[in-house]
Structure 1
Amino acid sequence: MQIDMKQPILDKNDALAAELRQRFADNHVFVLDLLASPGSGKTSTILATIDALRDEFNIAVIEGDIASSVDAEKIKAQGIAAVQINTGGACHLESAMIKRAVDVLDLERLDLIIVENVGNLVCPTDFDLGENAKVMILSVPEGDDKPLKYPGVFQVAEAVILNKVDTMPVFNFDRAAFDDAVGRLNPQAPIFPLSATSGEGVDAWTDWLAERIRAV
């Protein structure tokens, strides 16, 4: 006899995610789930996004990490509400974790919640968090072959951020090959090349996000 535990776990997760999605919709809050590997620049991208949008939107951040609160402290230092989730070893966030975090936020005062998922290119793709959109961040130093090696995360993304584009000459990144691979996996997903630290290309990304937030 084979017992498959994955589907019951996902079913429970998805049911709670649906409840969260309705709760967010009732409060007109847009929820963004950021997926990426460690070191891709998730936190720096979040900080650049906050800097670009904070004058128009009220923002909070949910930080997912195996351990520590380093990233949440960086967010709080910018005067933005941040809730830290430590998974204690789990490689992804789940809707039950998001519910606990959301319960301490004042949704009526928020327009945008950014979820920084645990750094992983595999596990987070399976788990609905009640988000409006999943967005993938890849940094140039990780290589242009990642869509071929980790297709799932690119397939679920509504947009792809290519971070650290200022390092492209150093790492011999083949942009045409990357764009072609992403286009074959997910032709509807726009690609936003940017450098979160220098600010290059951030406006195009945040303009796209702002339109989505206003539509909620």
Structure 2
Amino acid sequence: MHKIDVGANVLQVNEKIALENKELFKKWGVFTVNLMSAPGAGKTSVLEETIKRLKDNFSIAVIEGDLQTTVDSDRIKALGIPAYQITTGNVCHLDARMVHNALHEFKLDGFDILFIENVGNLVCPAEFYLGEDLRVMVYSVVEGAEKPKKYPLMFHEVEVVLLNKIDLLPYAGVELKDLEKNVLEVNPRAKIFPISCKTGEGIDDWISWFRNRIQKFRENVKS
């Protein structure tokens, strides 16, 4: 009797398609960002503020993932940015096949940056590589200081953690230093940016780092 690990097989198939996506992104010269978080952390608000600061210098496209509705993609389109909606129904994450299928209808030729806003979930999205160049997590300070240790996978897998809603720190019952400490204990390599979409605090630092990251990507593509 042979035991088949269905979960491992699913991830292997996903990895294969993700690498195909990666080749397409490289061919088009598109820097691709997988934006992840728990529900309500402020991914779309962060994305809006990021786009506002980049759209005069870069051609940007967005793929939105949600269980239902087009609310978030409508917000992106209101900024004059093309957005493609993936509605997953009861699936708590995007996978590489969903993104691959979207690319047939959402042509990326001519774009500089693709943001993929994943479904709001603190676990599943981190398990599925989409072919992206950069993984970014939005972590709201009101989620509490203990989340990196209770849900370590996503924190461990990302390159950047945006500590969002720092304007609410006085009301959240947590200290910024504790949030940063717990993130770094799970992922010592993580780049942390405390930000507020409401006040704009910290966002310029994030944008400056992001621009440098894109420049490195372009240099690698040319070499």
Q: C-alpha offsets along residues 23-51 of structure 1, whole Å, 9 cap, x if unaligned?
A: 11111111110110111000000000000
SS at match of 2:61: strand
* Deviation of the 1:74 alpha carbon: 0.6
User: Is 1:79 aligned to 2:80, yes or no?
Assistant: yes
**Do residues 166 (structure 1) and 167 (structure 2) align?**
yes
Match for residue 184 of structure 1? Answer: 185
Give the secondary structure class of the aligned counterpart of 2:116. strand
Q: 3-state SS of the aligned residue for 1:64?
A: strand
Equivalent residue for 1:137?
Answer: 138
Aligned amino acid, residue 80 of structure 2? G
Distance, in Å, in 1 between the alignment partners of 2:8 and 2:72 is 32
Q: Structure 2 counterpart of 1:51, which letter?
A: K
Q: Distance in 2 between matches of 1:162 and 1:23?
A: 31
Map 1:6-155 → 2, pairs under 5 A: 6-155=7-156
Please name the residue that 1:4 is paired with: 5
Task: Please name the residue that 2:221 is paired with.
Answer: none
1:181-203 Cα offsets, whole Å, 9 max, x none, are 11121111110000112211111
Gaps of 5+ in 2: 218-223
SS of residue paired to 1:168: helix
Partner residue of 2:197? 196
**Cα–Cα, structure 1 residues 197 and 102, in superposed 2: closer, same or farther, change >3 Å?**
farther
Is the CA contact 2:141–2:174 (under 8 Å) kept in the aligned structure 1?
Answer: yes
Residues 214 and 166 of structure 1: CA distance in aligned 2, closer, same or farther (over 3 Å):
same
Letter in 2 for 1:76: K
Per-residue deviation at 1:208? 1.2
Q: Deviation per CA, 1:65-92: give whole Å up to 9, x if none.
A: 0111000001111110000000110011
* Contact preservation (8 Å) 2:159, 2:191: yes
The count of aligned residue pairs is 216
- Matched to 1:205, the amino acid is W
Q: Is the 8 A contact 2:165 2:195 kept in 1?
A: yes
Q: Aligned-residue CA RMSD in angstroms?
A: 1.1
Structure 1: gaps of 5 or more residues = none
For 2:5, what is the secondary structure of its paired residue? coil
Most deviating of 180-189 and 144-153: 180-189
> CA offset at residue 179 of structure 1?
1.4
1:6 maps to amino acid:
G
**TM-score, normalised to structure 1's length?**
0.97
Q: Distance in 2 between matches of 1:102 and 1:165?
A: 35
Greater displacement, 73-82 / 102-111 = 102-111
Deviations 1:124-183 (A, max 9, x none): 111010000111111111111111111111000101000000000111222222211111
Deviates most, 155-164 or 201-210 = 201-210
In the alignment, is the contact (CA less than 8 A) between 2:167 and 2:198 conserved in 1? no
Q: For 1:166, give the aligned amino acid.
A: D
One-letter code aligned to 1:184: E
Name the SS for the 1:68 alignment partner.
coil
